[in-house]
Amino acid sequence: MNGPEADPGLLEVRRAQLRPLFSASVEIGLADPLGALPAPFPAEAACLSPQAVDKRRREFAAGRAAAHQAMRASGLVPAPVLIGPKRAPLWPAGLVGSISHTRSIACAALAQCATHLGLGLDVEEDTPLERSLWSAIATPEERTWLEAAPNPGQLGKLLFSAKEAAYKAQYCQSGRYFGFDGMDLRFDMALARFTARFTEDQPPFRKGEPLKGRFAIGAGVIITAVEIPNHEPCA
User: How many structural domains compose the chain?
Assistant: 2
Please give the C-alpha separations between residue 214 and each of 50, 133, 163, in angstroms, as whole numbers: 37, 23, 12
Same-domain status, 83 and 150: no
Q: Return the pLDDT at 189.
A: 97
- Read off the amino acid at residue 215: F
Residues 167-203 pLDDT 10s:
999 999 999 889 999 999 999 999 999 999 999 999 9
The answer to whether residue 235 sits within a structural domain is: no
Q: Which of 68, 90, 121 is the last residue of a domain?
A: 121
Nearest to 100 by CA among 73, 137, 125, 132: 125
* Helix (H) or strand (E) run with residue 186 in it: strand 183-188
| Interacting residues of 180 by C-beta distance below 8 A, sequence separation 6+ | 136, 137, 138, 163
The Cα–Cα gap between 23 and 79 comes to 23
Same-domain status, 151 and 212: yes
Mean pLDDT of the chain: 94
Q: Return the pLDDT at 3.
A: 47
In order, the DSSP letters of 46-94 are: TTS-TT--HHHHHHHHHHHHHHHHHHHHTT------EE-TTS-EEPPTT
Q: Which domain holds residue 195?
A: 126-229
Same-domain status, 187 and 213: yes
User: What are the beta bridge partners of residue 226?
Assistant: 120, 213
Q: Return the pLDDT at 235.
A: 47
In order, the DSSP letters of 127-172 are: -PPPGGGHHHH--HHHHHHHHH-SSHHHHHHHHHHHHHHHHHHHHH
Please give the C-alpha separations between residue 40 and each of 4, 36, 166, in angstroms, as whole numbers: 18, 12, 27
- Read off the amino acid at residue 11: L
91 contacts 81 by C-beta, under 8 angstroms: yes
Same-domain status, 137 and 94: no
Q: Return the pLDDT at 233.
A: 56
- Is 70 exceeded by the pLDDT of residue 234? no
Q: Which of 121, 142, 159 is the last residue of a domain?
A: 121
The Cα–Cα gap between 130 and 60 comes to 26
Is the Cα dihedral 68, 74, 79, 81 positive or negative?
negative
State the distance between the two ends of the chain, measured CA to CA, in whole angstroms. Answer: 39
Q: Is the pTM of this model over 0.85?
A: yes
The answer to whether residue 66 sits within a structural domain is: yes
Which of the four pLDDT bands, split at 50, 70 and 90, describes residue 87?
A: confident
